Structure 1
Amino acid sequence: MAVDSRSVANIDYTSRDFTGYRSSLLAYAEQVLPEWTSRSPADFGVVMVELFSYLGDIISFYQDRIQDESFLSTATQRSSVVAIAQQLGYQPHTAIPATGQVSFSPAPGLAAPLVLPAGTQVITSYIPALDRPITYETNSDLVIPAYSVPAPQVVALVTEGATQGSRSLALYADTAGEPASTVRVEDIGASDGTKSQVFTLAQSPVLLDTVRIFVDDGVGGTEWTRVQDFLLARESDLIFTAETDDQGVTRITFGDGVNGAVPATGLTIAAAYRTGGGAYGNIAQGSITDLAEAVPGVVVTGSSPMTGGADEESIDQIRVNAPRAYRTQGRAVSADDYADLALQVPGVADARAVVRSAAAVTLFIIGPNHILPSEGQRDTVAQYVQERGLSGVVVNVINGTLVPVNVGSGSLPVLIAVQPRYRRDTVKLAVQQAIQRVFTPPHTTFGSRISISRVYRAIQEVPGVEWAVVQMMARSDMPQSGTADVICREQEIPIVGNIVVTASGGV
């Protein structure tokens, strides 16, 4: 059968927006319907063309998003980036709660010792930026002695966050011989016996490492085990996964009867977990002032600085660290392998390995938000990497050195001219933020070199900047003059110091 040449149209399939679709459809209409010449917006044919163009534009948008979300370098949603990282064998770090010490004393009138149970909450004063106080909980039971003169002090370790749950659940004794106990839980639903059931935790942000799930038969609870995925699970394994989506909602997923067991129909699903975590928990000494709920005879008398809190790993940092973890494959041969292995330990955001002899490797590490890891974290990193390193090689772990870099000073500020019709204060603030971003991960790492041209480029990219002059940029431990590039040693990481900007022009 002959093909009518008029039915063949050269549609440009790379033109995938509303305007492109509309133009292509109208051009095609000129070939197959030459008698239709009206192009009035009120014409029914034009209305239909624009309707299909609109739908095509929407479909093209989602096609582009699906494609972009499939690659680590272009994905924008955190859930997509985390999923790709997990496929590469890298588990991004979740938020980390701050820890420290709090001192308690007996109040006058406490005649007998009193036990503060683990989980007793203490709080700071009201913090306007958070619209609430910060809550910390004791890690273990604490005995407060009877009052005497001078009043004794008892120190407890505390962790930022709050335990959730409204009832106590009795647990069955496990096969390992552990005695039966109780735990505070939140009921999150009942099993309907279907495959791959999903339940939602009511509170957020959830500290995923604290999530415990129990299946309650009305007499006692049986604890199930959290896993990263169901890939190697058997049909009888009592396991679940816990994931937090882009909106901060944490969902619990059970198996499908083939990979992971399905909870029996009608049984209550209960969760024990804590909320909290983040850099906001790092507070100064003496900031914890009271018990969240008064305990007669007990007062808070002091607190140490709270340290170690960190926000969840940023998307940009995951893009850098995930390929490094994949490259290592769980073993260390080269110096880079030792540094990449350290990234697998929670609380390590960046690492640099330095080899000064054939029998020793020195690892410099830093935590999220440039927080210095604790001694316990350093020991954990050393043990983890040592087990995967070459035989006979000793791994030493040391905190990296943070080097503040000052850009501008009172006598030599950064000068910027603001274009007409731009608000001077707004542009000035944007310039300061642009300079700060130059010194934030993943743009900086161990041994970074911060060139003056990079700072100029960041400033010039701010809308409204006419021109700029950086009169001074220097490490805080060097003379505060000149604009030479900032060069860091292999164990040093540059961070932003003082930024002084003077703006002129604009409105």
Structure 2
Amino acid sequence: MAANTYLKVTEVDFADIKSNLKTYLKSQTQFNDYDFDGSNMSVLLDVLAYNTHYNAFYINMLGNEMFLDTAQQRDSVVSRAKELGYLTRSARGATANVGITFTGVANNVSEFTLPKNTSFTTSINDRTYTYVTPEANIIKNVANTFTQAISITEGAPLQHQFAVSDASPVKYVLPNENIDTRSIRVTVKESASSNANTSYTQATNIREVNEKSAVYYLQETHDKQYEVLFGTGSLGKPVKDGNIVVIDYRVCNGTKTNGANVFSIDSISISPTYTSASLSVNSVARGGVELESVDSIKFNAPRNYKIQNRAVVAKDFERIILNENTNIASAVAYGGEDASPAVHGKVYIAVKPQGELIPTITLKDEIKNSIKDRTMLGIDPVIIDPSYLYVVPTINCFYDTLKSSTSTSAVQTLIRDAMTSFSNTNLEQFGKKLRYSRFVRNLDNVDDAILNNEATLQMQKRFVPSTTTASLVNILFHNAVQKSSISSTAFTYNNFIAYLDDDGLGNIRVFRYNSAKQKVAIEANAGTIDYTTGEIKINSFVVTAYDGIEIKVNADPVSKDIVPVREQIIIISTEDSTITTTGEVGD
């Protein structure tokens, strides 16, 4: 028994394992004074050490794959996530909105149906991609014109059929990668010769499922494929021997067609005859995403388990909406008690669509319907528009003429492009603050020839005034404003070209310029301003006309750092910015 004190099992490296084996054998009386290095025993020890090392490595990797945090293989991560009730997000095809116009249709046709999966194409980098109508569309006759805005989504439609057999059970696995799970439609036919069928919908809330519910379940399985499952009689209506399971879906290309803006008609099959059909693009293709990554699954699965498919606190709403809507770039939610004024019993949710400033009414309704069953009783979710706070920089750029032969206009272009990039990367989402030092540092790093930048920032709010009815205008900067810093673009007021400013005492004025370029007040007390909160109220405001599409109101912030509040999003307005350059010989 004493010899076992030489047995060490903690080392896993090859050399250490072999050394331990030697030490152990040397402790045995049968191998006293034996030369382990110069004999054939050395080869046997190599084999034993290699086998031990190999098994230690294998068991270690096997142990790693058993836990979500340490698993490396996608199939292992997906398997662990399924135990937490998490469905991985599939790849999703980009969606565009186009207007389609048919000519030559008889005027006595009141309407007709453009079928589901009507095919369109787009070409990117010499590769052709297929877009289809995800649902059927009704084209109505409006003043003998057949025009309709429709959504088209990237992806090739496919169908698979499975025969249900008790004798030879099968798994309903869709044998393709990059399936857009939003497109899955499941129909169960009574038999191969029967026309009777039942449409099954995906179960998203198990609390509403019983033994008669025609629902299916979905999960990712091996090799990035998806599997459809059916209930066994308690949590969903089961399929029966002899049934035929028909699954329609699309295989997409993820992000590859984001930004597509030229489409052509591939094939259209409609019942009324027509002469021609043409397309116009209302919005470019957006929202295409790749299959959820391993890192994303590891992050989202435990958090999804934590909220249990319920929306209780504000972050629950944000996480559900962003996870289920890839066409949403950013979302924020807050309780009505945090609103101004406070409104109890409501939760406000602001969403920013991909590539757009304001969500459509349709998108708002879709989001509200998707979360209403997961919201606590007595809480009313309200989808609101984002509020945009524009920042207008004035930049004085100093650059070394000895280090750069770049023209002044080229330096200005570099600075302007850097501001656009900074806005896209660091701002333009809810909760993203503009840090002055980071902004200036970003401009300093644009080119080695740039010595330094002096930056002054103005805040800007925009509104569309009424030209018919006097109404209250409420402007919220949500940042402290310097006194006597309010300015605006021009508008017509009481037959004068007029502007807005403040008197430094908390009053908003409407004024004009006389021939000597001096300010003349038209309304000395048109409204009020709270310099601490940055709130402006203009009473009974109505104009005859205004420059551009809206009135822009500027204010100087007290702090160089600008902070968004709740549904506010900060955007750098490069079109209103001023950039001057000064060339000098560097130090």
TM range (shorter): 0.5 to 0.7
Instruction: Report the counterpart of residue 225 of structure 1 in structure 2.
Output: 200
Instruction: Report the counterpart of residue 201 of structure 1 in structure 2.
Output: 174
Instruction: Report the counterpart of residue 352 of structure 1 in structure 2.
Output: 333
Between the aligned partners of 2:147 and 2:214, the Cα distance in structure 1 is 41
Larger deviation, residues 330-339 vs 304-313: 330-339
Instruction: Report the counterpart of residue 446 of structure 1 in structure 2.
Output: 430
Instruction: Report the counterpart of residue 22 of structure 2 in structure 1.
Output: 29
Contact 1:191 1:265 in 2 (8 A): yes
* AA of the residue aligned to 1:300: S
1:288 partnered with 2:263: yes
Instruction: Report the counterpart of residue 3 of structure 2 in structure 1.
Output: 5
1:270 partnered with 2:223: no
Task: Rate the CA distance shift 1:492–1:325 in 2: closer, same or farther, 3 A.
Answer: farther
The aligned runs of 1:1-400 (5 Å cut-off) are 3-6=1-4, 8-12=6-10, 15-16=11-12, 20-33=13-26, 35=34, 37-38=36-37, 43-67=43-67, 70-71=68-69, 74=70, 93-94=89-90, 95=92, 97-106=94-103, 117-119=114-116, 121-128=118-125, 131-137=127-133, 139-142=135-138, 152-162=145-155, 164-165=157-158, 186-193=159-166, 197-211=170-184, 212-215=186-189, 217-220=191-194, 221-223=196-198, 225-228=200-203, 239-245=215-221, 247-254=223-230, 263-265=239-241, 267-276=243-252, 278-280=254-256, 282-283=258-259, 287-292=262-267, 297-306=275-284, 309-311=287-289, 325-328=304-307, 335-336=314-315, 339=318, 342=321, 346-347=325-326, 350-353=331-334, 355-356=338-339, 357-359=342-344, 360-366=346-352, 373-382=359-368, 395-400=381-386
Indicate the percent of aligned positions where both proteins have the same amino acid: 15
The structural deviation recorded for 1:198 is 0.9
Deviations 1:333-383 (CA, angstroms, capped at 9, x unpaired):
655565556557645564232622143543222457999643222234345
* AA of the residue aligned to 1:5: A
Between the aligned partners of 1:162 and 1:210, the Cα distance in structure 2 is 9
Aligned residues: 426
Between the aligned partners of 1:243 and 1:294, the Cα distance in structure 2 is 34
Between the aligned partners of 1:306 and 1:9, the Cα distance in structure 2 is 69
The structural deviation recorded for 1:187 is 3.8
What secondary structure sits across from 1:447 in the alignment?
Answer: coil
Contact 1:310 1:368 in 2 (8 A): no
The structural deviation recorded for 1:231 is 8.1
* AA of the residue aligned to 1:200: V
TM-score normalized by structure 2?
0.55
Contact 1:446 1:488 in 2 (8 A): yes
Task: Rate the CA distance shift 1:138–1:83 in 2: closer, same or farther, 3 A.
Answer: closer
Larger deviation, residues 189-198 vs 83-92: 83-92
Between the aligned partners of 1:238 and 1:249, the Cα distance in structure 2 is 23
Task: Rate the CA distance shift 1:236–1:473 in 2: closer, same or farther, 3 A.
Answer: farther
Contact 1:401 1:492 in 2 (8 A): yes
Instruction: Report the counterpart of residue 176 of structure 1 in structure 2.
Output: none
What secondary structure sits across from 1:365 in the alignment?
Answer: strand
* AA of the residue aligned to 1:274: R
* AA of the residue aligned to 2:8: N
Contact 1:81 1:315 in 2 (8 A): yes
Between the aligned partners of 1:236 and 1:387, the Cα distance in structure 2 is 20
Between the aligned partners of 1:103 and 1:294, the Cα distance in structure 2 is 14
The aligned runs of 1:398-417 (5 Å cut-off) are 398-400=384-386
* AA of the residue aligned to 2:56: G
Contact 1:447 1:489 in 2 (8 A): yes
The structural deviation recorded for 1:140 is 2.7
Between the aligned partners of 2:203 and 2:456, the Cα distance in structure 1 is 43
Deviations 1:70-125 (CA, angstroms, capped at 9, x unpaired):
24xx5555666666666656656543651423222225x98996956412534244
What secondary structure sits across from 2:129 in the alignment?
Answer: coil
* AA of the residue aligned to 1:379: D
Between the aligned partners of 1:66 and 1:444, the Cα distance in structure 2 is 40
Between the aligned partners of 1:258 and 1:151, the Cα distance in structure 2 is 53
Between the aligned partners of 1:382 and 1:4, the Cα distance in structure 2 is 74
Between the aligned partners of 1:195 and 1:342, the Cα distance in structure 2 is 41
Contact 1:126 1:133 in 2 (8 A): yes
Higher-Rg structure is 2
Task: Rate the CA distance shift 1:158–1:238 in 2: closer, same or farther, 3 A.
Answer: closer
Between the aligned partners of 2:455 and 2:253, the Cα distance in structure 1 is 34
Between the aligned partners of 2:455 and 2:112, the Cα distance in structure 1 is 54
Instruction: Report the counterpart of residue 506 of structure 2 in structure 1.
Output: none
Task: Rate the CA distance shift 1:36–1:450 in 2: closer, same or farther, 3 A.
Answer: farther
Between the aligned partners of 1:249 and 1:59, the Cα distance in structure 2 is 27
What secondary structure sits across from 1:197 in the alignment?
Answer: coil
Between the aligned partners of 2:302 and 2:188, the Cα distance in structure 1 is 36
Between the aligned partners of 1:263 and 1:398, the Cα distance in structure 2 is 43
What secondary structure sits across from 1:11 in the alignment?
Answer: coil
Between the aligned partners of 2:374 and 2:63, the Cα distance in structure 1 is 42
* AA of the residue aligned to 2:192: G
Unaligned runs of 5+ in 1: 166-185, 414-431, 459-466, 499-507
What secondary structure sits across from 2:430 in the alignment?
Answer: coil
Between the aligned partners of 2:276 and 2:373, the Cα distance in structure 1 is 46
Instruction: Report the counterpart of residue 428 of structure 1 in structure 2.
Output: none
Task: Rate the CA distance shift 1:453–1:59 in 2: closer, same or farther, 3 A.
Answer: farther
Between the aligned partners of 1:159 and 1:245, the Cα distance in structure 2 is 28
Task: Rate the CA distance shift 1:6–1:60 in 2: closer, same or farther, 3 A.
Answer: same
What is the root-mean-square deviation in Å for CA atoms of aligned residues?
Answer: 5.5
The structural deviation recorded for 1:38 is 1.6
Unaligned runs of 5+ in 2: 400-417, 443-447, 461-559, 575-587
